[in-house]
Amino acid sequence: MEHKLSDRAMLVKPSATLAITAKAKAMKAQGIDVIGFGAGEPDFDTPRHIKDAAKAAIDAGFTKYTPTPGIPELRAAIAEKLGRENGVNVTPEQVIVTAGGKQALYNTILALVNPKDQVLIPEPYWVSYVEMVNLAGGKPVIVKTTGFRPTAQKILAKINNKTKLLILCTASNPTGMLLTRDDIEAIAAVCKEKGIYVISDEIYEKLIYEGEHCSMASLPGMQDLVITINGVSKAYSMTGWRIGYAAGPKDIISAASRIQDHSTSGANSIAQKAALAAITGPQDEVARMKHEFKIRRDLICERLNRMRGVSIKKPQGAFYVFPNVSKLFNQKIPDSNALAAALLEEAKVAVVPGAAFGADKYIRMSYALSVENIIKGMDRMDEWIKKSYRTL
Ligand SMILES: Cc1ncc(COP(=O)(O)O)c(C=O)c1O
């Protein structure tokens, strides 16, 4: 029997990233040796001192509801971190702790977006932005980029009297592109002039291999317009712990907290203690993981660069490459979905089709896997291309 789902539910597409990861996992469970470039999570274990903090929290009986916007010491630690590392000066009351960066984004979007409000999203975009805006009843407006960079001019061209919000992601998922301070200053100037709010998704901030991260909220006059999103998932290899946060103007954060009051309440108590240890404790594991990721990035870029029909822009951050594979399209494989399906079926390599990110000429490959597996996966892909495209 087909049930009468809400219009809202019908509008939401399943996450292509999670779908490809689930399919690759199912194939692995059947004994098929799949190399997964799909997952958006570090493959490292969570650092020991963070796990110890969680164990200590359990042993101390810290297992009850917490205040909706987070335990005071974690909110204070996040506010302190934002001031010290990012030049974003906020009080603990301007911080909300959430179940992952995803919930920070979703609550903020729900707090800001009215039905029919327009939300600017540069493409290629992270899959969930569009769906979150749709769920809030807003209208996603896609902004074209140049070399994966959204420019102030292109953003300005899309602004009208219905535009409420811009969502920026630096370093970017899916491209790994890092916005420079100049880029961010130019975009901030446009948003300030037009009174457009900005969600600045900085979840990959700790994984930048060249260049420097710049937080838009640190720029003069932007504190009132920018909501900074971050979390511990990617920096501390804590994807399953589900702790993220949003920081911004007090009334927006309070609204996000009221929304959280009636949906999920405070984030997991034990995970909050773990996140506190992550943010306030030693950072050498972060440096170690970043070093590993850089080695992998260089390796995968070097291999993809040499592959027929594939061209790449070397990313500066995150743990993704976003190669252009449109030269591999033909009658049998007309788009990125078909290419990802063929790579999975025939080469046993899992990648995410670029179409999911609004960029059908591309595929996204995560390099959050061992060097050995990257080499194995690259060998498979290379052989498959040589075999399938003899004339390229
Ligand atoms: C760009 C971006 N923002 C936010 C998130 C949310 O991360 P989490 O909810 O695991 O903290 C992700 C995770 O994939 C991401 O890639």
Residue 337 lies in a domain: yes
Query: Which of 216, 246, 280 corresponds to the end of one domain?
Result: 280
Residue 51 in domain: no
Q: Are residues 254 and 333 in the same domain?
A: no
Are the C-beta atoms of residues 113 and 136 closer than 8 Å to each other? yes
- Domain for residue 194, yes or no? yes
Residue 333 CA to ligand 1 center (angstroms) comes to 30
Q: Are 91 and 157 within one domain?
A: yes
What pLDDT is stored for residue 390 in this prediction?
Answer: 80
Q: Is residue 29 part of a domain?
A: yes
CA-wise closest residue to 40 among 381, 298, 365: 365
- The verdict on residue 53 lying in a domain is no
| C-alpha to C-alpha distance for 148 and 223, rounded to whole angstroms | 26
270 and 349: one domain? no
> Which tokens is 91 given?
């009080």
d(CA 197, CA 165): 5
- Domain match, 221 and 312 both: no
Alpha helices, DSSP H, located in the chain: 7-11, 16-29, 48-59, 72-81, 100-112, 127-135, 152-158, 181-194, 250-261, 269-280, 284-306, 336-342, 371-388
Structure tokens that stand for 53 in this block: 């903090």
By residue range, what is the domain housing residue 11? 7-45+285-388
d(Cα 115, Cα 39) in Å, to the nearest integer? 32
Cβ pair 81, 283 in contact under 8 A: no
Q: Do 250 and 332 reside in the same domain of the chain?
A: no
- Enter the pTM of the model: 0.96
Ligand 1 touching residue 101 (CB < 6 A): yes
126 CA closest ligand 1 atom index: 1
DSSP-derived pairing of the beta strands 352-353 and 363-366: antiparallel
Quick one: pLDDT at residue 31? 94
Give the number of the atom of ligand 1 that is nearest the alpha carbon of residue 40.
14
Distance of CA 291 to CAs 10, 18, 301, 343, Å? 42, 26, 16, 29
If DSSP states are collapsed to H, E and C, what string results for 239-260? HHHCCEEEECCHHHHHHHHHHH
CB of 108 within 6 A of ligand 1: the answer is no
91 and 148 assigned to the same domain: yes
**Buried b / exposed e across 241-268, counting CB within 10 Å, b at 16+?**
bbbbbbbbbeebbebbbebbeeeeebbb
* 258 plus 289 within the same structural domain: no
* Distance (Å, whole) CA 360 – CA 193: 33
Residue nearest to ligand 1 atom 1, measured at CA: 173
Long-range contacts of 188-193 (CB under 8 A, 24+ apart): 188/216, 188/219, 188/222, 188/226, 189/152, 190/152, 190/155, 190/156, 190/159, 191/155, 191/166, 191/222, 191/225, 192/221, 192/222, 192/225
| Dihedral, 182, 183, 185, 190 alpha carbons, nearest 10 | 140
Whether 220 and 270 map to the same domain: the answer is yes
CA-201 nearest atom, ligand 1: 3
What's the angle, vertex CA 142, arms to CA 141 and CA 145, rounded to 5? 145
CATH number for the domain spanning 348: value is 3.90.1150.10
Return the DSSP state at 208.
Answer: B
* 331 occurs within a structural domain: yes
Residues 95, 152, single domain; the answer is: yes
Domain stop point among 232, 251, 280: 280
The structural domain count of the chain equals: 2
> What distance in angstroms lies between residue 308's CA and the mean position of ligand 1's atoms?
32
What span, in angstroms and rounded, lies between the C-alpha atoms of 145 and 15?
Answer: 23
202 falls within a domain: yes
Give the end of a domain, one of 256, 280, 304. 280
Contact 202/231 with Cβ under 8 angstroms?
no
Q: Which of 226, 276, 218 is nearest to 97 (CA)?
A: 276
Burial class of 356 by CB neighbour count within 10 A (0 to 12, 13 to 18, 19+): buried
Instruction: For residues 11 and 114, state if they share a domain.
Output: no
Structural domain includes residue 56:
no
Which tens digit of pLDDT belongs to each residue from 63-102? Answer: 999 999 999 999 999 999 999 999 999 999 999 999 999 9
The pLDDT of residue 19:
75
- Ordered mean pLDDT values, 10 residues apiece, the chain (392 residues): 89 76 87 92 96 98 98 98 98 98 98 96 96 95 94 97 98 97 98 98 98 97 98 98 98 98 97 98 97 98 96 97 97 94 94 95 96 98 94 72
Instruction: Tell me: do 256 and 290 sit in the same domain.
Output: no
Residue 238 DSSP SS3: coil
Same domain, 273 and 296: no
Residue whose CB lies within 8 A of the most ligand 1 atoms, among 21, 97, 126, for a mutation test:
126
Closest ligand 1 atom to 318 CA? 16
SS3 state of residue 390: coil
pLDDT tens digit string along 243-299? Answer: 999 999 999 999 999 999 999 999 999 999 999 999 999 999 999 999 999 999 999
The alpha carbon of 15 and the centre of ligand 1 are apart by a number of angstroms equal to 12
**Residue of 133, 173, 205 best suited for mutating to test ligand 1, as the one with most atoms within 8 Å of CB:** 173
Strand, helix or coil for residue 135: helix
